[in-house]
Amino acid sequence: MYVLSLILSIVLSFESSVQQSDVKSVLKELDEAIEKQEQYCKPKELRIKNLVEELQISSGRPNEFNICNQLFEEYKYYQYDSAYVYARKLESFANKSGKRTDAAIAQAALLFCYKSVGFFNEALEIIRSFQPEEVPDEILVNFYVLCASTYQNLSSYVYGTQYLTEKYNKKVLEYYKRALEYTSDYTFYHHWISLEIALIQEYSDDLAIDGRKNLIGLFNLDEHQLAVQYSILANACDSKQMNQEATYYRAVSAIYDIKSCVHETTSAKVLAEYMYAQKDINHAYSYIQLALRDAQFYNSRLRMVEINSIFPAIEQSRYSDVNSQRLLFMVGGSVVLFFLVLTLILLLILSSKSREIRKANTLLARVNSLLKETSVIKDRYIMQSLQGNTSFVNNVEKESLAAIRKITTRQYEDAKAILYNLGVKDERERIYTAFDTAFLALFPNFIEAFNSLMNEDARITLDKSGALPMEVRIFALMRLGIDDPAQVAEYLHLSVNTIYVYKNKIKSKASVSKDQFDTLVMAISK
């Protein structure tokens, strides 16, 4: 009674969980598992790597057969070619050892390989040649289950041909019964094989569903076993038109396949077919791609044939959807592009106007700065010129009156001496000094900035009086805006040719190019 209550509670919990589950949620979990598929396979790849290394160093040792068998078990649902290689090695080792147990393990490995890829003639040959004597029960159970599975595949292959279907189903029942003889009560294999026998003898969707739920609930199954049982459970739900439950369990099966790193599977392909029927093309395409990758990786010709029967239809539907979406995006994109271009044109117009305004403001600011600079220069120079010229005029007036008196009294030599001593040369030096003083007051950093343009051995220094060298004075006048060589020559009482010579002399010692020199001098700030 207690066991019956336990089974009933398990069944009810399954039913309630399916009813409460959200199919979208489990499909989302499956999508996430697909993205992590490589990550799930890393532990298996590491185990395989370690076993291969161990096998290499165990050559000729007693544990060589066991390591080879472990490698086969790792590869059997992972990659057919490698599984077949190690199945053949098991056969070779078994032939050498002569042990019936080793031979049975090797035959089971080869039978698995042949039935997985549809090599039924080879599979049947192994079944017919198998000798169960002296073989442990556990190995016999595994072998007979593989025999039943082989005949199930054959039954599916000839589906629609009643005679052959019945013939192969009898064989399935026969080998399940043989396997059951060697199982222990209360074990997973005992319950599972008993369920398979019951379903063959009298199939019922309710028995298939409830019996499968009992198996999953009662036993601590590994991920691969869960994937298999959930896949069969999904088929039973599908047969009973329980579409939501079938989708849910099939997705769960596919998740366990990915997590257990199994590539020999049908869940993803069947799920893709269901999604295609539901017009969920994106999921259908994702799952058929998963199924195709698994089949190609495992190198299962049988699975690839099955996948190719539905793949073109899904691919065509996806192509049509993509074209529809592309057309929609093109129309939407054209509208967005139109407004984007319109906005861009307006921005360009505004930007152009803004640049013109900034340019005008910059020009006005520059003109204003030049006007201020010119005003300061003018004010300073006017005051110094007024003071200097007033002093010179007063002196000339005084000396001229003295010369007139000397001429009146016929003292011509004295008058001549007075005129010679008017101090024109001194006045010119005074004017230069006044200019230098005013200029350096206006541009206190001029000498430092000017020297930064010169080679280190040609830098300018002021004399004790603080006067500018004549060559530098030429560029000082230029900085003030007097750049006409004739004007500069007249002001400095030099020839125009001398002005050019002085300028070229300075530029030849500059650390910058001659073309840049004048521009950089004009850029020296106050």
Query: How many structural domains is the chain composed of?
Result: 2
- Tell me the β-bridge partners of 454: 510
- Residues 24-75 have pLDDT tens digits of 899 999 999 999 999 999 999 999 999 999 999 887 788 899 999 999 999 9
Asked whether residue 369 is domain-assigned, the answer is: no
Write down the pLDDT at residue 409. 81
Write down the pLDDT at residue 133. 92
Q: Which long-range contacts (CB under 8 A, 24 or more apart) does 89-94 make?
A: 90/65, 93/64, 93/65, 93/68, 94/65
C-alpha span between 291 and 271 (Å, rounded): 10
The 3-state DSSP class for residue 413 equals helix
Sign of CA dihedral 452, 453, 458, 459: negative
Asked whether residue 260 is domain-assigned, the answer is: yes
b/e per residue, 154-175, with b = 16+ CB within 10 A? Answer: bbeeeeeeeeebeebeebbbeb
Asked whether residue 176 is domain-assigned, the answer is: yes
Asked whether residue 28 is domain-assigned, the answer is: no
Q: Which of 229, 243, 321 is nearest to 278 (CA)?
A: 243
Asked whether residue 282 is domain-assigned, the answer is: no
Q: Which of 90, 97, 48 is nearest to 68 (CA)?
A: 90
Q: Which of 171, 173, 108 is nearest to 136 (CA)?
A: 108
Write down the pLDDT at residue 2. 35
Q: Point out the domain boundary residue: 245, 265, 285.
A: 265
C-alpha span between 79 and 295 (Å, rounded): 9
Question: How many angstroms separate the Cα of 239 from the Cα of each of 268, 273, 380?
Answer: 18, 15, 108
Asked whether residue 190 is domain-assigned, the answer is: yes
Write down the pLDDT at residue 361. 77
Write down the pLDDT at residue 167. 93
CB 503 within 8 A of CB 350: no
For residue 91 the two structure tokens come to 């056969």
C-alpha span between 321 and 190 (Å, rounded): 49
Q: Which of 115, 92, 219, 217 is nearest to 172 (CA)?
A: 115
Asked whether residue 429 is domain-assigned, the answer is: no
Q: Point out the domain boundary residue: 249, 265, 281.
A: 265
Write down the pLDDT at residue 236. 93
The 3-state DSSP class for residue 510 equals strand
Write down the pLDDT at residue 251. 94
Asked whether residue 355 is domain-assigned, the answer is: no
b/e per residue, 474-501, with b = 16+ CB within 10 A? Answer: bbbbbbbeeeebeebbebbebeeebbee
Domain enclosing residue 189, as ranges: 41-265
Give the largest Cα separation in the chain, rounded: 167
Give the CATH number, domain containing residue 518. 1.10.10
- Residue 112: phi and psi, rounded to 5, are -60, -45
The 3-state DSSP class for residue 137 equals helix
- Residues 442-456 have pLDDT tens digits of 888 888 888 888 898
Q: Point out the domain boundary residue: 214, 246, 265.
A: 265
- Tell me the β-bridge partners of 510: 454
What is the Cα 215 distance to its own chain's centre? 45
**Per-residue pLDDT of the chain in tens (526 residues, 90 and over written 9):** 333 333 334 444 444 455 546 688 999 999 999 999 999 999 999 999 999 999 998 877 888 999 999 999 999 999 999 999 999 999 999 999 999 999 999 999 999 999 988 899 999 999 999 999 999 999 999 999 999 999 999 998 888 888 999 999 999 999 999 999 999 999 999 999 999 999 999 989 999 999 999 999 999 999 999 999 999 999 999 999 998 999 999 999 999 999 999 998 888 999 999 889 888 899 999 999 999 999 999 988 778 888 888 888 888 887 776 655 565 666 667 777 877 887 888 788 877 777 877 887 777 777 676 656 556 555 555 445 544 454 555 566 566 666 677 688 877 676 666 666 656 677 777 777 878 888 888 888 888 888 888 898 888 888 777 788 888 888 888 888 888 888 888 888 889 899 888 889 888 888 888 888 888 888 888 7
Give the CATH number, domain containing residue 153. 1.25.40.10
Count of H-run helices and E-run strands, the chain = 24, 0
The 3-state DSSP class for residue 278 equals coil
The 3-state DSSP class for residue 454 equals strand
Q: Say if residue 31 is exposed, middle or buried (CB neighbours under 10 Å; 0-12, 13-18, 19+).
A: middle
Q: Which amino acid is at 247?
A: T
